[in-house]
Amino acid sequence: MSLEPVTLQQLPTDLISDLLPQHVAVIMDGNGRWAKNQGKPRIVGHQKGVDTLKDLLRCCKDWGIPALTAYAFSTENWGRPRGEVQFLMTLFERVLRRELQEMKEENVKIRFVGNLEDLPTSLRQEIDRSMEDTKNNQGTQFTVATNYGGRHEIIQACQAIAKKVEQGYLKANQVNEDLFEQHLYTQGIPHPDLLIRTSGEMRISNFLLWQVAYAEIYVTSTLWPDFDRTEFHKALATYQQRDRRFGKVKS
């Protein structure tokens, strides 16, 4: 990984610490196009994308942003060529094994969200281990959405709630937003304030459908492997200029 300019190791002076998002979510898109632009196979872009994510996680710590969520693999991504899917699964496993010790030292609390049961067993073992080993950490809350689909998440919450109603533990009129949230994969994690999508695509692609209800959306044409601290700085500066009204009018 390249060394960052010294100035960006700390929060840039034009950003106001009190106005930083408390939770940033990223749709890490454009790895394939990045590789193609270099005349390389798509997997090279995925590999480079890992370095980008690693530095963004560290940047959140350096700049005082307590929570980061990254979209690593969607429920729809199984539809990609078999070789690419296999490469990604192996990459996740290898990176997790390689980075766990450092994340522990940096006090990161890692959590995976998604339908984890359908992931390869060896990857699941690494996932379980990483979550267990970091569960008491108080530093950056790092959430990785893997085999994640917002629709799937909502359906599984509905099923879990319906079952409780069916078994008589709950009444239908007790189902409210708070209870529903408790059945989402992201239970206990605050909603994102800022959603970043790289590579210029202006869509959500089934990510955190419930949770982004009031997130500020920032789209950049920069491809994910090129999304460095300078790019993150731009996203945060834009965020700080937004007027978050939450449906109300200014008093």
Catalytically active residues, by annotation: 29, 77
Residue closer to ligand IPE (CB basis): 50 or 60: 50
Task: Report yes or no: 68 and 23 within 8 Å, Cβ to Cβ.
Answer: yes
Kindly report the number of other CB atoms within 10 A of residue 65's CB atom.
Answer: 24
CA distance 145 to 29: 14
Instruction: Map residues 5-24 to x or -, x wherever contact with ligand IPE holds by CB under 6 A.
Output: --------------------
**Using CB distances below 5 to 8 A depending on partner kind, what does residue 71 bind out of ligand IPE, Mg ion, none?**
ligand IPE
Buried b (16+ CB within 10 A) or exposed e, 196-212: bbbbeeeebebbbeebb
Per rule CB under 6 A, is residue 199 in the interface with ligand IPE? Answer: yes
Q: How far apart are CA 22 and CA 7, in angstroms?
A: 22
Question: Is residue 29 part of the contact set for ligand IPE (CB under 6 A)?
Answer: yes
Give the x/- contact pattern for Mg ion in 11-50, rule: CB under 5 A: ------------------x---------------------
Within the chain, strands assigned E span 23-27, 67-74, 109-113, 141-148, 194-197, 216-219
Beta bridge partners of 245: none
* Distance of closest approach, residue 148 Cβ to ligand IPE, in angstroms: 8
**Which of 63, 73, 227, 232 is the binder for ligand IPE (CB under 6 A)?**
73
Binding region for ligand IPE (CB under 6 A):
27-33, 71-74, 77, 88, 199, 201, 203, 205
